[in-house]
Chains A and B, each alone.
Chain A
Amino acid sequence: MTGQAFFVLTALADGPRHGYGIVREVTELSEGRVKLKIGSLYGVLDRLATDGLIEPDRDEAHDGRLRRYYRLTRDGRSELAAEADLRAATARVVWARLTLPGTEAAG
């Protein structure tokens, strides 16, 4: 899973969001490191929808335009949890290596 897809799924984990809402949430979650452009966002949304990980939730009128909200599917939630576990496990391994006494002398 790419970093962008991971952040988009995470942005939808606590409830449905519309396109720009996802962009803002991803920027906040990544502390400004990931700033999605609209073309990039819809490339990711299209791929996630094709894979069945997200689906449309509802349309809401705002300022004369319709905003479409997206939500995680059951598969999307499972996939996100599995990816989070994988990343956490990887991080634990890295930290274990970094904090191991005498590792700088190894190898």
Chain B
Amino acid sequence: MSGDLERRYRRVLRLLPGYYRRQWEEDMVAAFLDSALTGDPDEDEFSTEYGRPDWPEIASVGCLAARLYLGGAGTPRRYFVWGQAVRGTVLAVTLAHAVWGLGQFVLLGASRYQIGWLLPQPAAAGTWRTVSYLMGYTWVVAFLALALGYYRVARVIAALVIAAELAVVLRGQLTGALPPFASWPYWILLDLAPVLAMAAFHRDAPPPARRPWLVALPASYLLVSVPLLAAEMTGLSAWVPDTPGLCCILAGLLCLVHVPRARSSRAGTGVWSLTLVLLAAVAALYKITWLAVYLQGPRSSSHLIAVGLAELLILAVAATLVAPDAARAQAAMPAPPRPQLG
């Protein structure tokens, strides 16, 4: 028996990669129709005509699709490369949040006589600022959980953090006191998207290399945050880029450092190349939304816009140099053999 119900379910199955559909689609459709039809002719005729896959069923296919596209062991190489690149990008964005949180923590420690240890005192700051500080510290925990392989813990913590940040954004909208960095584009790009992309850390995904990522947290703080803080405190703040500009410069530098490897004939560089291209895209979007704030807000300045465009240009050139290797990684690598069913 076939009909609209089957057609609708097949439409849902289009979420899955082609190689997977070729192997499993007919079997999935048969199992789904078995589960949806009762054997009563009248009832089945109605279901076949008007029935639809329910939302939990669609969600289960969506989750399966996410796991397959952001592949782990046993998936075709192309999806494995994408999975590794997304995992690397999520770790890098979470690291950036964590470095900011670590910086806040160290600053608070250093100036505890003014605003208290761990949390600013209510009289000096208020509930919303307290929430903001807590979110910063919590990103550190989320990053450590992710790097150590406690994916579920990381997802739960990060979800709580972005819920709190959403509350800050909503409050800003309601009171009309929304600072530019707490608006929707930033929340979607830097909070929601990385947390959703944490779906790439599934059971089949190889665990991240712990030591380099764990070392990256204090190293990034010491090599990036401390020099910038020192520059600001010694009157060189005019030379300190804004946060999106800093992200563009760092992503561009990482791309340039990676260029010799990407252009060598060594195998296995494609994952890093694709990761860097994704990071460059995130940094570029961050900067572009920031430039929109400069254009619209009272801080509009042709100098800041010119600097921002220059940063974007440098980032684009650097990303273009590693992009061919990222493309090669998906096209050239053959799919590993999969078990043949039937």
Check if A and B associate.
Answer: yes
Chain A residues with a Cβ under 8 A of chain B = 2, 18-20, 23, 37-43, 45-47, 49-50, 52, 55-56, 59, 62-68
A residues within 8 A CB of B97? none
B31 within 8 Å of A by Cβ?
Answer: yes
A residues within 8 A CB of B2? 64
A residues within 8 A CB of B1? 63-64
Interface residues of B, dominant DSSP: helix
Chain B residues with a Cβ under 8 A of chain A = 1-2, 20, 24, 26-35, 56-57, 59-64, 67, 73-74, 203-204, 338-339, 341-342
Q: Contact check, B24 vs A42: say whether CB atoms are below 8 A apart.
A: yes
Q: Contact check, A19 vs B74: say whether CB atoms are below 8 A apart.
A: no
A23 CA to B63 CA in the complex, in Å? 18
Q: Contact check, B35 vs A20: say whether CB atoms are below 8 A apart.
A: yes
Q: Contact check, A39 vs B35: say whether CB atoms are below 8 A apart.
A: no
Q: Contact check, A2 vs B30: say whether CB atoms are below 8 A apart.
A: no
A52 CA to B341 CA in the complex, in Å? 11
A59 CA to B26 CA in the complex, in Å? 12
Q: Contact check, B64 vs A39: say whether CB atoms are below 8 A apart.
A: yes
Question: Can you list 8 pairs linking A and B with CB atoms under 8 Å apart?
Answer: A19-B28, A20-B30, A42-B64, A43-B64, A43-B67, A46-B20, A50-B338, A68-B341
Q: Contact check, B60 vs A40: say whether CB atoms are below 8 A apart.
A: yes
B residues within 8 A CB of A20? 30-31, 34-35
Given contacts A50-B74, A56-B342, contact A39 B63 (CB under 8 A): yes
Q: Which of B57, B62, B64, B338 has the most CB of A within 10 A?
A: B64
Q: Contact check, A18 vs B341: say whether CB atoms are below 8 A apart.
A: no
By beta carbon, the residue of chain B nearest A44 is: B64
Q: Contact check, A41 vs B342: say whether CB atoms are below 8 A apart.
A: no
B178 to chain A, nearest CB (A): 39
